[in-house]
Each structure stands twice: as structure tokens, then as C-alpha cells.
């Protein structure tokens, strides 16, 4: 873990992670004391693996949220571009009508 020279955690997040790891280690040690099939050497690896799984799940959720946001923004841009295109088409039609009327003077 990241610690300062005095041994204290670098950040509150690091401290929180350290506390969770200590709690999980106590839990696993309690399991190993009652279950001889559990290998004490694997406890740290299990804790690290579990933490990595949590981080990956958080990253996946964040990525999914970002993708949804980007899709929504792209859809909004597409709607706006379509609106502007339709507006320009209408202006062009009006201009063509005015031009045609100017070419055919009233009799």
C-alpha cells in the first residue's frame, strides 16, 4: 500500500482500502483456523484478486455509463443537424419560389 514515511496512508482512499483489506484478511484467517483445507499463503492473493474484481466491475460500470452518455450526445447532435438541414431545405425552397416568381412578372 502507499504510505508516507511515518507509516500513515498517503490518501484517505488508500486508508479505506487498507482497512477493507485488513477486515478481509481477518475474515479469511478465521476461515482458515476452522478449515484446514484453506492455504494461509493464498489469503493475500485472494484479497488482492477480490479487490481487483471490484475495481474492474467499477471500471466496467463507468465505461458503460460513458458509452450511454456519448450515444445520447450523438443522438442529440443528429437531431439538431436534421432540424438544421430541414430548415435550410425550406429556406432554399422559399428562395427558389421567390426566384421563379421574379422571372414570371404578373401580366
Domain map of the chain by residue range?
12-103
List helix spans (H) across the chain: 12-34, 43-103
Alpha-carbon torsion angle 22, 47, 5, 15, nearest 10: -60
Which of residues 36 and 68 earns the better pLDDT score? 68
Q: How far apart are CA 53 and CA 43, in angstroms?
A: 15
pTM for this predicted structure: 0.48
pLDDT tens, position by position, 74-91: 999 999 999 999 999 999
Amino acid at each position: 500500500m502507499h504510505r508516507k514515511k511515518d507509516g500513515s496512508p498517503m490518501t484517505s482512499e488508500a486508508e479505506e482500502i487498507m482497512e477493507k483489506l485488513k477486515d478481509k484478511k481477518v475474515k479469511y484467517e478465521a476461515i482458515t483456523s476452522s478449515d484446514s483445507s484453506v492455504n494461509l499463503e493464498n489469503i493475500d492473493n485472494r484479497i488482492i484478486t477480490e479487490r481487483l474484481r471490484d475495481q474492474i466491475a467499477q471500471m466496467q460500470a463507468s465505461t458503460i455509463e460513458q458509452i450511454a452518455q456519448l450515444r445520447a450526445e450523438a443522438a442529440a447532435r443528429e437531431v439538431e443537424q436534421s432540424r438544421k438541414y430541414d430548415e435550410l431545405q425550406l429556406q432554399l425552397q422559399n428562395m427558389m419560389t421567390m426566384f421563379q416568381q421574379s422571372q414570371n412578372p404578373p401580366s
